[in-house]
Amino acid sequence: SQTIPQDGVLMVGPNFRVGKKVGSGNFGELRLGKNLYTGEHVGIKMEAQKAKVPQLHLEYRFYKQLNPAEGVPLVYYFGPCGKHNALVMELLGPTLEDLFEKFDKKFSMKTIAMIAIQLMTRIEYVHSKHIVYRDIKPENFLVGRWSNKKMNIIHIIDFGLSKLYIDPTTQEHIPYREHKSLTGTARYMSINTHLGIEQSRRDDMEAIGHMLMYFLRGSLPWQGLKTETLKERYQKIGETKRITPIASLCQGHPEEFKIYLENARGLGFAEKPNYEYFRNLFRGLMKKNGWDVDWEFDWI
């Protein structure tokens, strides 16, 4: 239920006052908010009730499945707000993309290895709830806020493109399918996603590999390709990914990243990734360099 008191304050549910707009995406907009009972600041994601492809309620259901867990924002409320649906959630800090740009697109090797370790744990947890994420990109990973000392915890947000890879009725893995429309962000998506193959756990793993290489290199060989149409751009990006050998993509960087990507690309459609093996790759890289896994990232 949503009420507009005389003074024109917009509320979501009984507790949450809607504040200023701080961002927007394909879903609608993000606003600051405040829990009037506790004084806590929150994030409020708004979506028009007449949205062509409503995804906010679906996203709310995924969050409820995942809450509470480290690295997943807490969700407090879902309900109407004027002509919008609103999802009220924990307010987080900057995205990995924000931080990467702030550091002139240069993260230390230690920071990238620790990002990798946390992401393995995060995606393993999401997969454990039978969810395939399908939108790996630095904009969707946010650190916590300074105020609550969570700047060293990387959170995964935005489940608008996610889906279940285990059928809730049969408990079977979803079937292999082709000719799927592209879902996700072209820069990071797996080669198989470009080919129209149904996404499963392996595609999240490969996309993380592409994102880690973006952090290592500062850019990817398939960035900035000029084409007439969006469809051609997706095709050209996919083509470039296919013809770029992993060895040359990872050249001059620790072999762990090459091993990671080879393994991720080698996974079968319904195969469960060996998250612990991947974590240990990057733990080994830390150890080799005499670094402690102390979560002292570049931005701390």
Q: What is the pLDDT along the chain (300 residues), one digit of tens a residue?
A: 444 454 678 999 999 999 999 988 767 899 999 999 999 999 999 999 999 888 999 999 999 999 999 999 999 999 999 999 999 999 999 999 999 999 999 999 999 999 999 999 999 999 999 999 999 999 999 999 988 889 999 999 999 999 999 999 999 999 999 999 988 899 999 999 999 999 999 999 999 999 999 999 999 999 999 899 988 999 999 999 999 999 999 999 999 999 999 999 999 999 999 999 999 999 999 999 999 999 999 999
Q: Annotated active-site positions, please?
A: 135
DSSP tally for the chain: helices H, then strands E: 9, 10
CB 192 within 8 A of CB 141: no
- C-beta neighbour count of 258 within 10 angstroms: 19
What is this structure's pTM?
0.95
CA dihedral 103, 105, 110, 113 (to 10 degrees): 130
pLDDT on residue 75: 98
- Say whether 71 sits in a helix, a strand or coil: coil
Report the Cα 88 to chain-centroid distance in Å: 18
pLDDT on residue 5: 52
Domains of the chain: 11-90 (3.30.200.20), 94-289 (1.10.510.10)
Half-sphere CA count of 242, side-chain side, radius 13 A: 11
158: CB partners within 8 A, 6+ apart: 25, 59, 135, 140
In the block, tokens 């600051």 appear at 32
pLDDT on residue 7: 61
pLDDT on residue 1: 45
pLDDT on residue 50: 93
